[in-house]
Amino acid sequence: MRWPTVPGGYGALMPPAAAVPPRDAPDPSVTAPGTPGDGATRWLDPREQGVWRSYLEGTQRLWDHLGAVHEAAAEVSLQEYEVLVRLSEADDGGLRMSQLAYVLVHSRSRLTHTVGRMEIRGLVERRASPDDGRGVLCVITDEGRAALERTAPLHVTGVREVLVDVLRPDELDALGAALEKVAARLRG
C-alpha cells in the first residue's frame, strides 16, 4: 500500500493519520523550530522532493556498487581504499588520526577499527606524532602503496562506469559544484 505524502513533501511517506494531528497533540506554537506543525517549516515542493530522493538513491546505489566491486575483486574494501588514497596524498604518507577522520567524514571510533584491520594486514602503521607525542599518525606502508596501485584501476573503472561516463562534462561540473557547496556549508 502506498501512503500519500504530506502536502509539499515531508521526507518519508507517511500514513494518512499522520497528516491530521490527534486531539491531544501538543500546541503547534510550542513545538521546536523546524518541526512539523510549527508553521515555519518550508516543505519540499515536488521538484525539490524529486531531487532529494534522486540524490539519496543515487548516492546509496553508487556506494553499494563500488563497495560490491571492491568486495568481489579488490583486496581492500572501499573504506580501506579511501584511507589509502588520503594517506598516499599526504606529505610523508601520513596524517593524524583526527585529520584522517575529518577528511573521510568518519567517526574516530569507526576509523580506529578500520585502521586496526589495515594495520594487522600491514597496509598502514600507527606512530606517535613527532609534533607533540600525544597525537597518533596513521602512515601508509610500502605494502599499502602496492595494494593501492593494484586496486586503483579497478576503483577508477567503477567510478567511471557509474558516474563520470554517465554524465556530460557540464553535468559533472554542475554536480561537483553543487556538492562542494553543500560540503562547505556542513564543514562550517
Q: State the Cα–Cα distance between residues 103 and 92, nearest whole angstrom.
A: 17
**78 grid coordinates:** 572501499
Q: State the Cα–Cα distance between residues 97 and 33, nearest whole angstrom.
A: 36
pLDDT score at 36: 59
Sign of CA dihedral 77, 121, 106, 174: negative
pLDDT in tens, 46-64: 999 999 999 999 999 999 9
Q: State the Cα–Cα distance between residues 29 and 39, nearest whole angstrom.
A: 8
Average pLDDT taken over every residue of the chain = 84
Phi, then psi, of 105 in degrees rounded to 5: 55, 50
Q: State the Cα–Cα distance between residues 155 and 70, nearest whole angstrom.
A: 7
Tally the C-alpha atoms within 13 A of residue 146's C-alpha that lie toward its C-beta: 6
Give me the domains of the chain, ranges plus CATH numbers.
46-187 (1.10.10.10)
pLDDT in tens, 61-102: 999 999 999 988 878 999 999 999 999 999 889 999 999 999
28 or 109: which leads in pLDDT:
109
